[in-house]
Amino acid sequence: DAKTTQPNSMESNEEEPVHLPCNHSTISGTDYIHWYRQLPSQGPEYVIHGLTSNVNNRMASLAIAEDRKSSTLILHRATLRDAAVYYCIPRRVSGNTPLVFGKGTRLSVIA
Amino acid sequence: NAGVTQTPKFRILKIGQSMTLQCTQDMNHNYMYWYRQDPGMGLKLIYYSVGAGITDKGEVPNGYNVSRSTTEDFPLRLELAAPSQTSVYFCASRVKTRPAPDTQYFGPGTRLTVL
């Protein structure tokens, strides 16, 4: 699986957009990019995934660089409930191997 | 659907004791996983299963055992508890779909302390 680099922590003001970056320079052509988040004292939850095109869902948007070596998770209006650790996880499309979680980015949201 | 449920929520063990962490999912998912998360760290995979009767080791399997006799249940067994096993344990499941999304559903976790 591709290695990832994420900032250890980020801070945002409430109701402002947040851009969470992830570098995955060794990603293979068929790896999907998944994002999960973990709220305090809870298990991780799926946020979004993508392959090449930018993706939107009700939780967030995912912007993928043209060379696929990096991606950015975008929370359009951060709320206090978005305070969590965000994990970027490249995933081989054909594998049965499990997700590999790194340390992620701890997002703090200030009221 | 209840999703993924784990019991107990908390447990304190003495060194050398044994226990089983229970995990049940009602989504008819083929794949199930056990992870541990130490303070301030990411999740590490202990064991996983791709279906009833099939299990495989993850990154940190030493000191643990699993079984998968049914689709719904995937218990994790600690035989001789050690302080190094103090952690939060998460069970997860996912349905077998290709190619994506690889959406794993996680339980609420079991916080285990070994003294």
Mean pLDDT of B81-88: 96
pLDDT of the residue at B40: 82
Over chain A (111 residues), what is each successive 10-residue block's mean pLDDT? 89 96 89 93 92 91 94 96 95 70 94 92
B7 or A97, higher pLDDT? B7
Q: Per-residue pLDDT for B101 more than 80? A: no
d(CA B33, CA B81): 20
Amino acid at A70: S
Average pLDDT over residues B87-91: 97
Q: Which two tokens stand for residue A26?
A: 């060794």
Mean pLDDT of B8-37: 95
pLDDT category at B100 given cuts 50, 70, 90 is low
Here the tokens at position A90 are 């490249």
Q: What is the pLDDT of residue A1?
A: 64
Q: Across all residues in chain B, what is the average pLDDT?
A: 92
B37-84: pLDDT as tens digits: 998 888 999 999 989 999 999 999 999 999 999 999 999 999 899 999
Which of B33, B99, B107 lies nearest to residue A98, judging by beta carbons?
A: B33
29-48 of A, contacting B, C-beta below 8 A: 30, 32, 34, 36, 41-46
Q: Name the β-bridge partners of B20.
A: B77
Predicted local distance difference test score (pLDDT) of residue A95: 58
**B chain contacts of residue A101, beta-carbon cutoff 8 Å:** 35, 42-44
Are A88 and A33 a contacting pair, CB within 8 Å? Answer: yes
Please answer yes or no on whether A46 and B101 come within 8 Å at the CB atom.
yes
pLDDT of residue A53: 87
